[in-house]
Amino acid sequence: IFPHMATDVYLYLPSLFLVILYILSTVLFQKQVQRVYSQGPQQGGFNTNFLLELIIVIGFIFPAGVLLYFITSNLITMAQQAV
């Protein structure tokens, strides 16, 4: 369907790198929030799995600038909560 995609894979590597960074920063942020605010029993794993799948889809749909904003926001919020 898209013959140019097979030969120009290297063009998608920066976007793939940003998606991976976005996923990692969001998962770390969620774990930090759960650790700080955990009171009572853990919630079901369905919400976590669904959210991870949603993050992956969002990562591939949004432009790179939005991903940079999300990554930066997650890192700044984690740093603020750590202090």
Residue recorded with tokens 């063009």:
11
pLDDT at residue 2 in the model: 53
CA angle 8, 69, 54 (to 5 degrees): 70
pTM beyond 0.85, yes or no: no
pLDDT in tens, 53-65: 888 888 888 888 9
Q: If you ran DSSP here, which 8-state letter would residue 9 be given?
A: G
Q: Is residue 10 very low, low, confident or very high in pLDDT (cuts 50, 70, 90)? A: confident
3-state secondary structure of 63: coil
